[in-house]
Amino acid sequence: MDAIIITIGDELLIGQVIDTNSAWIGTELNDFGVQVVERISVGDDHEAIIHALEEAVAKSRIILLTGGLGPTKDDITKKAIADFFNDEMVFHNPTWERIQGLFKRWGRETTDDHKEQCYMPSKAELLNNKMGTAPGMLFRHKKSIIVSMPGVPYEMKYIMEHSVFPLIQSMNEGHEIYHRTIRTIGEGESRLAFKINDLVEALPDFIKVAFLPSLGQVRIRLTGRGSNVDQLKKSVDHHVEQISERLKEFVFGFDLETVEEVIGKLARARGVTIGLAESCTGGSISSRIVSVSGASEYYAGGIVSYSNEVKMSVLGVKETTLKDHGAVSEETVIEMALGARKVLGSDIAFSISGIAGPNGGTAEKPVGTVWMACTDGTQTQTYLLKAGKDREKNIIYSGTYGLNLIRKYIMAQ
């Protein structure tokens, strides 16, 4: 089945608000075997909303609208939908009673705008919204369904999860879909594709592959479609195993796993603690590690040693090392890692120092030069990364490669 998403709001068109709703809806619908074929974004304009609906119902069975259901004057979605259906607006007393109850609990007074919010198209089937005051609305039009939801992301997600997904699942019976994702670090999309070209060519017609690159990572997603979910799982899992075995030096996890989560699992299994000394990444690697619940079990702490003075006074990096080799050097990151391990009392320590840019590069060490090290006090592993010229991208890219070095170092313990 196909779906079209219509997002409504002037704030989206002028860039004041980023449309994250469409990305989330598209990802979730894909898991139900529903393909988003078009995204339409319109402002708070009555005629534009009606035109978007006319265009969408001619193309798709599922039309999902977000935005324009609030209590203010620019929230005109309901009236536009009513006019699209030649419908009338009627007052919905249960919604009004619920809003009054909520405001009483909050110790606030309702306004005429809140009462106006309770007028709905008479043909609407209202969808419960426990996260806010505006219910979702479901309309049936020939073979299509039209769902209108608030633009507030957590309200939209609640309605999708509790009302829309079950409905779509019932519409999609007999059309099963099964996804698996191989997650990699350390090789680009084109090189990975070349390495597994023969395996991809051998995939059955009901399995499709997609390469999904991001900074430092590539996800390889296999999607099987058919009527027998057990057969799909068996076949997709088999091909995932084949591909991941071929690419094993780059594979760090599967499906929704992040490299930070994998590090946590490995650290717990090996019984090791981790400490960090960051320079060019400014603490962002530490932030990614502690984003995992329970990180306190294995993460000792981190030191942001951005200046040479802190590298020397806190981590014990020798002044002669900095003078002879520079802050961005293999020698310096080794001393940073050893110093961090001593200061933090961790079993292993990781360090990183680089030229994030856009300034600071030289012919010998251009922007994007990044050194990193990992040590247990006895064995030290270093890595030289040559990134690009964009500062923000370099920080993310370096962080991803740094986490991967930590992962591989722990695996070797």
346 phi-psi bin (left φ>0, alpha ψ -120 to 50, beta other) = beta
Could you tell me the CA-to-CA distances from 215 to 34, 149, 186, 218 in Å, in that order?
Answer: 27, 33, 10, 8
Owning domain of residue 335: 259-411
Q: Which of 329, 331, 333, 337 is nearest to 375 (CA)?
A: 337
Q: Pick the last residue of a domain from 230, 254, 278.
A: 254
If asked whether residues 189 and 270 sit together in one domain, one would say no
- What's the pTM value of the predicted model, to 2 decimals? 0.79
Tokens linked to 126: 């209202």
If asked whether residues 92 and 209 sit together in one domain, one would say no
Domain CATH number, residue 28: 3.40.980.10
E strand residue ranges, 15-61: 35-42
If asked whether residues 11 and 158 sit together in one domain, one would say yes
Residue 30 DSSP one-character state: H
Domain CATH number, residue 311: 3.90.950.20
DSSP 226-248: ES-HHHHHHHHHHHHHHHHHHTT
Residues 6+ apart with CB under 8 A from 301: 275, 276, 286, 344, 346
If asked whether residues 156 and 228 sit together in one domain, one would say no
In the chain, the number of structural domains is: 3
E strand residue ranges, 49-135: 62-66, 89-91, 119-121, 125-127
User: Given the structure tokens 């479609």, which residue do they identify?
Assistant: 225
If asked whether residues 165 and 23 sit together in one domain, one would say yes
Residues 6+ apart with CB under 8 A from 397: 215, 216, 385, 387, 388
Helices (H), 127-212: 153-159, 165-171, 189-195, 197-201
If asked whether residues 34 and 159 sit together in one domain, one would say yes
pLDDT of residue 113: 85
If asked whether residues 201 and 155 sit together in one domain, one would say no
If asked whether residues 236 and 318 sit together in one domain, one would say no
Q: Which of 271, 278, 165, 285 is nearest to 216 (CA)?
A: 285
Tokens linked to 60: 């798709």
Strands 136-141, 369-375: pairing kind: unpaired
If asked whether residues 188 and 162 sit together in one domain, one would say no
CA-CA distance, 405 to 411, in Å (whole number)? 10
Strands 348-354, 274-278: pairing kind: parallel
If asked whether residues 248 and 320 sit together in one domain, one would say no
CB 391 within 8 A of CB 359: no
Domain CATH number, residue 185: 3.30.70.2860
If asked whether residues 55 and 202 sit together in one domain, one would say no
Q: Pick the last residue of a domain from 254, 288, 323.
A: 254
CB 26 within 8 A of CB 5: yes
pLDDT of residue 149: 98
Please tell me whether residue 294 adopts helix, strand or coil conformation: coil
Provide the residue-wise pLDDT of the chain in tens; the chain has 413 residues: 899 999 999 999 999 999 999 999 998 998 788 889 999 999 999 999 999 999 999 999 999 999 999 888 778 999 999 999 999 999 999 999 999 998 998 899 998 888 988 999 999 999 999 999 999 999 999 889 999 999 999 999 999 999 999 998 888 766 778 899 999 999 999 999 999 999 999 999 999 999 999 999 999 999 998 888 899 999 999 999 999 999 999 999 999 999 999 999 999 999 999 999 999 999 999 999 999 999 999 999 999 999 999 999 999 999 999 999 999 999 999 999 999 999 999 999 999 999 999 999 999 999 999 999 999 999 999 999 999 999 999 999 999 999 999 999 999 98
CA-CA distance, 285 to 352, in Å (whole number)? 10
If asked whether residues 25 and 41 sit together in one domain, one would say yes
Q: Pick the last residue of a domain from 254, 270, 294.
A: 254
| Sheet hosting strand 176-185, strand order edge to edge | 207-214, 217-226, 176-185, 251-254
